[in-house]
Amino acid sequence: MVIQENISLQPFNTFGIPATARYLVRITSQAELEQVIQHPVYRNNRRFILGGGSNVLFTKNFDGLVMKVEIMGKSLVEETTESILVTAGAGEPWHPFVMSCVEQSLGGIENLSLIPGTVGAAPIQNIGAYGVELKQVIAYVDGIDLDAGVSRRFTRDECQFEYRDSVFKHTLKEKFLISSITLRLMKKNHPMVTHYGAIKEVLNEKKIDHPTIRDVSNAVIAIRRSKLPDPTLLGNAGSFFKNPVVDVNLARSIQDKYPSAPVYPIDNQFVKMAAGWLIEQCGWKGKKIGRVGVHDQQALVLVNFGGANGEEIHQLATEIQQSVLQKFGITLMMEVNIL
Ligand code: EPU
């Protein structure tokens, strides 16, 4: 176990922000983590747990200990004729893990193809795309309670999953290090989720009536490639804001004025609106301000065109929030972790 000092975080965040960490330690096993917990640098500094760095914005240097989770490994836990329990180490990159499941025709996460980041970060914000959320397939999450120094397992219910949310973002923030997740995936009779408009379009275009797990995965990959910038080519962290939950009366008044405004029902009192649509209506889509801007295919995505610092992205995000509030009376919440 080596604690490095004054390390650049630029390769470790998909925005490509050149912040540094006062200390950085790579954690490749539970034994290594136990050593870290005993170390004075751990005890005397604030901490940040880093996965793939695809949902974080460093607005300044981090004056503490960054714990980079690199616990690897994939294993089969248990199998029935219908389903299978698979465990993956928190440091495994998410998309290759999805691909290995798709290749084995294991159903459940094909709609979550091509999401950047690591396996261990996935439950924190309950990643979701094209009609599927991780919570639908999670069996349990294992990790270490950093305060008590003991292992703990969270069942799906205990994870308190909501839209882009879980217990790991609240009471357990920086207090619980996820070491692995275990998913229940389907070996047969897997109900494919293809109702999402864009997926239907791709499958229709290809004249696929009975899609396989691989067909759905391929469709999702094609949609993501066409709409979302590749973080290895253009710095970004996917959706920067959450889709807001809005009072049904406010949404109705917006729809009176803009009949095409996308609105998703929740209950009698609230609906969800598309943050990307709101931002686009405020004229931000495709806008470039200095070294930062708003993606031209998906207004929810803020980008670093090269050389930007985190403060510039944060400033842009704040201006977008203000203009959406002014025009629509809706406060957008940032989805990305701001440090
Ligand atoms: N829209 C616009 N303008 C835009 C973007 C979107 O008008 O610039 C409209 C679209 O036309 C559509 C609606 O907004 O009617 C929804 O757009 P889209 O299907 O692209 O999905 P989203 O709600 O913008 C969410 C997730 C994405 C996920 C997609 C697909 C959040 C915050 N974002 O985006 O997740 O890939 O659905 O399921 O929930 C991520 O979290 O990083 C991410 C990319």
How far, in Å, CA of 243 to CA of 238, rounded? 13
User: What does DSSP say about strands 74-79 and 56-57: parallel, antiparallel, or unpaired?
Assistant: unpaired
Quickly count: other Cβ atoms within 10 Å of residue 131's Cβ. 13
Does residue 238's CB lie within 6 angstroms of at least one atom of ligand 1? Answer: yes
pLDDT at 197: 82
**Shortest CA distance to 237 belongs to which of 179, 181, 164, 323?**
164
Is 54 considered catalytic here? no
State residue 154's pLDDT score: 98
pLDDT score recorded for residue 295: 98
Bridge partners of 270, per DSSP, are: 247
Q: Within its chain, how far is the Cα of 107 from the centroid?
A: 20
Q: Which residue from 205, 243, 202, 242 is spatially nearest to 225, judged by alpha carbons?
A: 202
Residue 120 has a pLDDT of 97
Mark whether 152 is an active-site residue: no
Q: Which position among 164, 166, 180, 224 bears the catalytic label? A: 164
The pLDDT of residue 7: 98
Distance from C-alpha of 111 to C-alpha of 224, rounded to nearest angstrom: 11
Burial, 10: exposed, middle or buried (Cβ in 10 Å; 0-12, 13-18, 19+)? middle
Q: How far is the CA of 299 from the centre of ligand 1 (A)?
A: 8
Q: What structural domains and CATH numbers belong to the chain?
A: 3-69 (3.30.43.10), 74-186 (3.30.465.10), 235-338 (3.90.78.10)
> What pTM does this model have?
0.95
* d(CA 55, ligand 1 centre) in Å: 16
Nearest CA to ligand 1 atom 3: 277
pLDDT at residue 322 in the model: 98
Ligand 1 centre to CA of 276 (Å) is 6
Per-residue pLDDT of the chain (339 residues; tens, 9 = 90+): 899 999 999 999 999 999 999 999 999 998 899 899 999 999 999 999 999 999 999 999 999 999 999 999 999 999 999 999 999 999 999 999 999 999 999 999 999 999 999 999 999 999 999 999 999 999 999 999 998 889 999 999 999 999 999 999 999 998 999 999 999 999 999 999 999 889 999 999 999 999 999 999 999 999 999 999 999 999 999 999 999 999 999 999 999 999 999 999 999 999 999 999 999 999 999 999 999 999 999 999 999 999 999 999 999 999 999 999 999 999 999 999 999
Distance CA 65, CA 233 (A): 28
Buried b (16+ CB within 10 A) or exposed e, 92-129: bbbbebbbebbeeebbbbbbbbbbbbbbbbbbbbbbbb
Instruction: Confirm or reject: Cβ of 300 under 6 Å from ligand 1.
Output: yes
92 lines ligand 1 (CB under 6 A): no
**Cβ-based neighbours of 264, under 8 Å, separated by 6 or more:** 243, 271, 272, 273, 274
Structure-derived torsion over alpha carbons of residues 289, 292, 294, 295, reported in degrees to the nearest 10? 130
Structure tokens at 269: 């009192």
Cβ atoms of residues 201 and 220 within 8 Å: no
Q: Is the beta carbon of 193 within 6 A of some atom in ligand 1?
A: no
Mark whether 335 is an active-site residue: yes
- Verify whether ligand 1 is closer than 6 Å to residue 126 (CB atom): no
Q: What is the dihedral of CA 21, 314, 238, 201, to 10 degrees?
A: -170
For residue 275, the ligand 1 atom closest to its alpha carbon is 24
- The whole-angstrom separation of Cα 313 and Cα 294 is 10
The finding on whether 277 has its CB within 6 A of some atom of ligand 1 is yes
Beta-strand pair 62-69/47-50:
parallel
DSSP state of 314: H
Q: Fill in the DSSP letter of residue 254.
A: H
